[in-house]
Structure 1
């Protein structure tokens, strides 16, 4: 399965068949997460958490075997670094046939943070169950997916622009299509990209009226995921240098990627 196929076929699984992750698959995943980095050079530490040992569960998950949590230092851009690194793990897990889903709210956060030994200068933002997907969805799983329209994505013309935000583009570029199919909290798809020649300027479009119940910015995690997808299918130079393109009060610059190779498949 090539990277674009991984990106397009990955989805959130909340119903698993109850089979334990094989020793072979778990070893591959553990070895892989040791190699994960991100363009922010901010360390993201992963840990495997046994459900029985720590008494972990989520009311929206059935049949999970174990969880993976991750921690990141409380520094600038930690959300984007976390999102980038966690999504790399998610995509690799899916290449092994292991299902995941991003969980930030429907969990006993205090219990998970204690199991992950989270320090005062760290955030444990997200966890995911790991398991082999069940052939049938639970009722809760099905309703959640329908409520956020999990199988749908905005058209390119609402997400991508050329030159400035007044010129939407319909793009079939793999790098942009990979971003379009990225997962996001409540499927809000907050990323916006302005293409100027070979440079792609990433912005977060903050949802109007959205109030976070945590200390970090969830939608910036989504931007880290988007950047991960983009760089998974093309090579580029990553910088943070605001091009000062006119935007509204809800749109915030995040980073720029200048493409040097538009095909990694």
Structure 2
């Protein structure tokens, strides 16, 4: 992982207040080139996903996002595997954008889909799962932004020993080199800062689980916390360099955890 990505992972903050200035022509062209390169859409389950850049569009954020110059929209088919893949692919994109010196903010429930004018309309089985503004942070945060960061405790994360285990729950990872890399996974963003992923190492295998407490809201068509697992997977692959994904059979689920997949 290069130094720009390391910095993007550890320094990134969701930005809701922008100065309204468009990214430079060079930055915009780099973003478009990234989106056009299909190798950037490789993902654990091979789901089909597309992104659209709205250079002057609006996504109806009810004034939560201030003066954003452009947005990106993520469109998927509504399956569990697609949710994981969306988190994985979009987080790599977000980190790329951040490495260009731009700012972003994950939006799921925070935008009005009916206001979005896509170049290619949604198919019957497609949904707009995510959006993000892209631009430069304003010098001053809005009152709404300050309140959101305080409520979500956005600058805090669980400690390593609550999330990552060696062979079994309650047995923390002790190897210093592994713990150093896990810091990059620990800082992965998640909906309402829930951090629902857990990893149990078994030799060279890293088994990913989701906590059973991370449930869908009553009105939601999907569990957004499944997408969080894809974000954590992205950080793991970048930190460790392992990208062989396996769905093992008969993997036991520890208490209050459900198995997702294995990376080796």
Same fold (TM over 0.5): yes
Q: Report what 1:47 is aligned to.
A: 52
Write the distance in 2 (CA, Å) between the matches of 1:137 and 1:95. Answer: 21
Structure 1 stretches of 4+ moved >6 Å: none
Write the distance in 1 (CA, Å) between the matches of 2:192 and 2:92. Answer: 20
Deviation digits for residues 36-63 of structure 1 (CA, Å, limit 9, x no counterpart) = 22122112201012445x5744421112
- Aligned 8 A contact 2:71 2:133 in 1: yes
Matched, 1:241 2:243: no
Deviation digits for residues 132-158 of structure 1 (CA, Å, limit 9, x no counterpart) = 112221111111011101000000111
- Aligned 8 A contact 2:214 2:225 in 1: no
Q: Report what 1:263 is aligned to.
A: none
- Aligned 8 A contact 1:63 1:131 in 2: no
Write the distance in 2 (CA, Å) between the matches of 1:109 and 1:66. Answer: 15
TM-score by length of 2: 0.89
TM-score by length of 1: 0.89
Q: Report what 2:203 is aligned to.
A: 197
Structure 2 CA distance for partners of 1:87 and 1:165, relative to 1, 3 Å: same
Deviation digits for residues 167-197 of structure 1 (CA, Å, limit 9, x no counterpart) = 2336652432111000000000000000111
Q: For this pair of structures, how many residues does the alignment match?
A: 256
Write the distance in 2 (CA, Å) between the matches of 1:44 and 1:28. Answer: 19
Which 10-residue stretch deviates more, 5-14 or 109-118? 109-118
Structure 2 CA distance for partners of 1:14 and 1:179, relative to 1, 3 Å: same
Q: Report what 2:212 is aligned to.
A: 206
**Structure 2: any 5+ residue segments left out of the alignment?**
none
Structure 2 CA distance for partners of 1:246 and 1:166, relative to 1, 3 Å: farther
Structure 2 CA distance for partners of 1:218 and 1:76, relative to 1, 3 Å: closer
Write the distance in 2 (CA, Å) between the matches of 1:82 and 1:133. Answer: 25
Structure 1 residue 242: deviation in Å? Answer: 4.4
